[in-house]
Structure 1
Amino acid sequence: MSTLEIDRVRKSYGSLEVLKEVSISIDTGDFLVLLGPSGCGKSTLLNMIAGLETISGGEIRIAGRVVNDLSPKDRDIAMVFQSYALYPTMTVSQNIQFGMKIRGVPKAERAKAVQAAADMLQITHLLERKPSQLSGGQRQRVAMGRAIVRQPRLFLFDEPLSNLDAKLRVDMRTEIKRLHARLGTTIVYVTHDQIEAMTLATRVAVMKGGVVQQLDEPQTVYDRPANVYVARFVGSPSMNVIPGTLRVEGDKVMAVIEVQNRPPATISGIGLSRDAAARYAGRPVLVGIRPELFSVANGQPGTITVDIDVVEPTGPDTLAVFQLGGVEVTARLPPKQVEAGTATMLAVDTSKLVLFDPATENLIK
């Protein structure tokens, strides 16, 4: 059963259209991440689901019920804000149970719910402290505890980790993933951080300019991006998108790419449907290669000889930068295998190589 259905939803501020007929459906227990840069419309969409923003067109349904005109308190949702939104004069315990108290939940039931949430989030020892006495990570746990005790049908997270330092972000990602596994709840989570999206989501909606560019499982978004925008936005370093020409010889599909100061390189073994191969044979294409698909060649055929411009050691691996097809390309290689200023033979794993149409920038299938 779908817990959340967003059906052709639009949002306009006068003549400015912020969301353009967005349609998303997620099932009970899904963890949906709305991913995109600032201004793409992801937070506006979350606020519309929560009832904090009005809808210009379309429908939002929670558990089959249209909620367009319902107030936030009647939508059976709980929201965790970027700023935590804790009451500074209340203790942690009072903050967690405040919503329950307003709804008239008996004191004994409130106390039981607070204790259960505190145990789950490991904040029992903080229950009598005020928010000013807590670290950023502890405040975020309190905000999550306040959401948990409501037992909502839908949890909404608005960039909850953006105010935390790098170490705390990693820790809190783990906590949120553990929380989702324990409760089996449905979550909609807004972030611009692709690592959060890849590690937390069961489904990712990549957004740009108020339009969902791709909605799919995280690994599919990474391996088979719907277009060049998604390819470059998801992944760090991002996917290399290299101009080339498609060549077809019988059943063999190859991409021919110009190499700086060297003869053109041919990448063979590209998987492409017969129809697509026929349509694009002899035509320009954009070749999408993730940095980790490169490896230092050990005499195997089909290699590319390149001149390494820059080497960036990161510890577990090395990023090598060079030119292909007139653009800068990055390869992720094991440490100490290449040096700047040297010619190096590289092989390409074509099992996950993808092609894009240069005109539409959409994936060629």
Structure 2
Amino acid sequence: MSTLEIDRVRKAYGHLEVLKEVSISIGTGDFLVLLGPSGCGKSTLLNMIAGLETITGGEIRIAGKAVNDLSPKDRDIAMVFQSYALYPTMTVRQNIEFGMKIRKVAQADRGRAVKTASDLLQITHLLDRKPSQLSGGQRQRVAMGRAIVREPKLFLFDEPLSNLDAKLRVDMRTEIKRLHARLGTTIVYVTHDQIEAMTLATRVAVMKDGVVQQLDEPQAVYDRPANVYVARFVGSPAMNIVPAVLEAEGATVTAVIDIANRPPARIAGITLSPEAVRRYAGKKVLVGIRPENFSIASGDIPPSLTIDFDVVEPTGPDTLAVFQLGGVEVTARLPPKQAHAGQEAALSVDTSKTVLFDIDTETRID
């Protein structure tokens, strides 16, 4: 069992509290991504799991065993760093088997482990080269191979793709996902890239200022963000957050949004619990709309609002159209050639995917 339990873990440097009672639990074979901007505490948390940083408070358990006081070598983990951390004077083969030599693993067993890992990562033809003769993607594969041969309970990845160019990042992302599917190992992965989080994770922990804002499956984080911060951080372009007033007539809930020099937008058919309707009817709220949930109104889809496009950005597969709504700049993702700068357009909104937030706490309203 390769479970990981992070139980009310704190980290402080003097009076500066970097992690504030973080609690995360994942099961065997899960792929946890710690997602957040620089300075949110995600790398510090990873280093604490690895034993590279001490814990101020709380407990970390790997496979049910508390590891707070164990050294890194006794935690049965393997770590892949952003910088690869390969020995430049050693060959690929020597780099991969170095840890096994230190642990006095028999030569025959080392050979079998190196062959298995190199075949899995498709680097067998590179075994006699030095790191200086490899590309960035190849070096990262070698670093992963070195981790694989340890057969640890837990793999830790610290922003492993950030030094690669865009195409290599996509390729290596696929390799890591394939590796996880084949090995079924438990992985904790740190990144600030929400595309990596969405494509790789089985669980995502979105962090801000040392606090986990939301821990959930990637699609749930995207569709039902816990608060405005998560809504804006996950998704590209980000979720549009627009001030509105909530109207309720029986079970029908409508968000009314001001539009300059035009009638207000009326986004009807929003689903809310009866309790939320009682609390927020007639009050100001924040409406969250993903760019792809706008569409050009047609005979089958009645319009929710009429606006003028300010800026249009063709991307190839779609067009990003920018306009003003509720006094803020909003982006819609539309099919190619459906939007032009200066054009008046009637738009519809998919209310089944509209999210409401409390205007004061910025937490999701259900």
Common fold, TM-score beyond 0.5? yes
Please tell me whether the aligned partners of residues 2 and 25 of structure 1 are also in contact (alpha carbons under 8 angstroms).
Answer: no
Q: Give the corresponding residue for 1:59.
A: 59
Q: What is the letter of the counterpart of residue 246 of structure 1?
A: L
What's the offset of the Cα at 1:303?
2.4
The question of 1:49 aligning with 2:56 is answered no
Distance 1:233 1:195 in 2: 11
Query: Which residue matches 2:261?
Result: 261
**Superposed CA offset, 1:167-196 (max 9, x none):** 000000000000000000000000000000
3-state SS, counterpart of residue 302 of structure 2: coil
Tell me what 2:141 maps to. 141
The answer for the alignment partner of 2:230 in structure 1 is 230
Q: 1:236-291 CA distances to partner (integer Å, 9 max, x unpaired)?
A: 00000000000000110000000121011111010111110111000000000000
Look up the SS of the partner of 2:3 in the other structure.
strand
AA at the equivalent of 2:261: N
Q: Secondary structure at the match of 1:150?
A: coil
TM-score by length of 2: 0.99
Q: Quote the offset at 1:27 in angstroms.
A: 0.1
* Distance in 1 separating the partners of 2:149 and 2:260: 61
User: What is residue 26 of structure 2 aligned with on the other side?
Assistant: 26
The residue that corresponds to 1:339 in the other structure is 340
Gaps of 5+ in 1: none
Give 1:302 shift: 4.2
Match of 2:82 in 1: 82
> Superposed, which structure 2 residues align to 1:162-201 within 5 Å?
162-201=162-201
Contact 1:295 1:348 in 2 (8 A): yes
Q: Distance in 2 between matches of 1:141 and 1:160?
A: 10
1:342 Cα offset (Å): 1.3
**Once the 2 structures are TM-superposed, how far is the Cα of residue 301 of structure 1 from its aligned partner?**
2.8
Secondary structure in 2 matching 1:271 = coil
- For the Cα contact (< 8 Å) 1:245–1:285, is it kept in 2? yes
1:307 corresponding residue in structure 2:
308
Looking at structure 1, the residues matched to 319 and 241 of structure 2 have their Cα atoms a distance apart, in angstroms, of: 20
Query: In the alignment, residue 116 of structure 1 is paired with which amino acid?
Result: T
Instruction: Tell me: CA distance 1:154–1:2, structure 2 relative to 1, closer, same or farther (3 Å).
Output: closer
Q: Contact 2:79–2:156 (CA<8 Å) still a contact in 1? A: yes
- Residues 297 and 303, structure 2, Cα contact 8 Å, conserved in 1: no
**In structure 2, distance between residues paired with 1:227 and 1:200:** 22
Say whether the 8 Å CA contact 2:303–2:346 is kept in structure 1: no
> Normalised by the size of structure 1, how large is the TM-score?
0.99
Question: In the TM superposition, what whole-angstrom CA distance separates every residue of 1:21-47 from its partner, at most 9, and x where no partner exists?
Answer: 000000000000000000000000000
How do residues 275-314 of structure 1 correspond to structure 2 at under 5 angstroms? 275-299=275-299, 300-314=301-315
- AA matched with 1:347: S
C-alpha distance in 1 between matches for 2:233 and 2:160 = 21
> Quick one: distance in 1 between partners of 2:182 and 2:193?
24
- Whole-angstrom distance in 1 between the partners of 2:343 and 2:321: 11
Superposed CA deviations along residues 322-356 of structure 1, whole A, max 9, x for unmatched, are: 00000000000000001110110000011110000
Structure 1 position 319 matched with structure 2 position 320: yes
Find the aligned partners of 2:71 and 2:360 in 1 and give their Cα distance. Answer: 45
Q: Relative to structure 2, which stretch is displaced further, 169-178 or 301-310?
A: 301-310
Q: 1:132 is matched with which residue?
A: 132
Structure 2 stretches lacking a partner, 5+ long: none
Letter in 1 for 2:327: G
Q: Which residue of 2 aligns with 1:363?
A: 364
Instruction: State the one-letter code of the partner of 2:280.
Output: Y
Identity of aligned residues (%): 82
Separation in structure 2 between the aligned mates of residue 51 and residue 301 of structure 1, nearest angstrom = 57
Question: How many pairs were matched up?
Answer: 365
Which residue type is aligned with residue 51 of structure 2?
A: G
- Show CA shifts across 1:289-319 (max 9, x none): 0000000011443421001000000000000
Residues 151-181 of structure 1 deviation map (CA, whole Å, 9 limit, x = unaligned): 0000000000000000000000000000000
How many angstroms apart in 2 are the aligned matches of 1:184 and 1:2? 10
SS at match of 1:207: strand
Residue identity in the other structure for 1:345 = A
Matches of 1:315 and 1:171 in 2, distance apart?
A: 21
C-alpha separation in 2, matches of 1:260 and 1:147: 58
Give SS of 1:245's match.
strand
Q: Write the distance in 2 (CA, Å) between the matches of 1:106 and 1:130.
A: 23
